[in-house]
Amino acid sequence: MENQTTPTEFILSGFSKLWGLRFLLLGIISIIYVFTLLGNMLILLLSLVQPCLRTPMYLFLGNLSLLDICQTTTTIPQMLQHLLSGSSSISYASCMAQLYFFLLFVGAEGILLATMAYDRYVAICNPLHYTVLISNKLCSTLVAASWLIGCLNAAVHTVLTIHLSFCGVNRLSYFYCDIPPLLAVSCRDISLNVTMTVVSSLFLGWGPSLCIILSYMHIMFKILKMQSSQGRRKAFSTCASHLMVVLLYYGSCIFTYIRPISNYSLDKDRLISLLYSLITPMLNPIIYTLRNKDVKGAMKKVFDRKMFF
């Protein structure tokens, strides 16, 4: 009979075909991680210490930066440790913990991006009612809800994954523990896991995506009706950075999760997983910094004050 006991560890073989370049990859990923931490920490600190950034938009942006810091810290240090030591093993308990926290932060970010789209919709389409519709209490509630939904989604998928059997197979063709590679090596019926993946994709993927699309359709119609070209440029500038982040995030997540399980290809998924686990968190602070005059102004104030003292 096949051995269906739970493995004590998994082997993450995502870098196996590039093992000869592991020290080059170690350097590149280390640089990306440092830039990700510094950029997102800068935005997070600016949103906390600068009075001009204590608005709902920057409350959401600060939480987005916090999620990116947490998400990358869940996966990248383990990647670096594997590249440095030459050992690609991860204990079963660590794998399940990594799966839980990664899904938590990814799920919460999806809800938060939809919330940010609604914030931009109200700011541009109903500016006179903005302070009434987007109160501090509502913002705090929406942020807390995004974290709570992320926690619940991660808990469901992690519990379902824990109940899977692997028949002695413990090699995952991935860089970290995630749903697709774990389902691919399971020897137990995964229909319930697939069903829950589809359900969560509808609520955390297609649902927020639809809200974002509708919000930006209204925003674009409002911008096109503006008489002032300066007003159009200002309104478009405030939304362009958020749109770029949304496209990067949802483009990669839809490819990985929001499609039939029969279409999974771990070779392609590995490349896409690097996009939303490495590249997107690094680009978020760059996009918001370069495209946002308020953030650049707050940075200038901080650095001018440091130079003065």
Token digits for 281? 């968190």
**CA angle in degrees (0–180, nearest 5) for 103-270-23:** 105
pLDDT for 101: 96
Q: Tell me how far CA of residue 141 lies from CA of 79, 103, 129, 131, 215, in angstroms.
A: 35, 21, 19, 15, 20
- Give dist(CA 175, CA 12) in Å, integer: 6
3-state helix, strand, coil in the chain (%, to 5): 80, 5, 15
pLDDT for 3: 47
* DSSP 8-state code for residue 276: I
pLDDT for 305: 61
* DSSP 8-state code for residue 175: S
The per-residue DSSP string of 193-224 comes to: HHHHHHHHHIIIIIHHHHHHHHHHHHHHHHHH
pLDDT for 272: 73
- Give dist(CA 143, CA 232) in Å, integer: 29
HSE of 300 in the Cβ direction (CA atoms, 13 Å)?
8
Do residues 176 and 216 lie in contact, with contact meaning Cβ atoms separated by under 8 Å?
A: no
pLDDT for 148: 96
- Give dist(CA 127, CA 140) in Å, integer: 20
Give me the phi and psi of 175, to 5 degrees please: -90, -20
CA 201 to chain centre: 14
Do residues 102 and 177 lie in contact, with contact meaning Cβ atoms separated by under 8 Å?
A: yes
Q: List the chain pLDDT tens, one digit each, 309 residues.
A: 444 567 788 998 878 777 788 889 899 999 999 999 998 998 888 888 777 777 888 888 889 999 999 999 999 999 999 888 888 889 999 999 999 999 999 999 889 988 988 888 888 888 888 888 888 889 999 999 999 999 999 999 999 999 888 877 788 888 899 888 888 888 888 889 888 888 887 788 778 888 888 888 888 888 777 777 776 776 676 677 667 777 777 777 766 665 555 555 566 667 777 777 888 888 888 877 666 676 767 667 766 665 444
Burial 271-304 (b: 16+ CB within 10 A, else e): ebbbbbbbebbbbbbebbbebbebbeebbeeeee
Contacts of 121 (CB under 8 A, 6+ apart): 215, 216, 218, 219
Beta bridge partners of 90: 10
Task: With residue 294 as reference, give the H or E element that holds it.
Answer: helix 293-308
What does pTM read for this prediction?
0.86
pLDDT (tens digit per residue) in 122-167: 888 888 888 888 888 899 999 999 999 999 999 999 999 998 888 7
Residue keyed to tokens 């501090």: 136
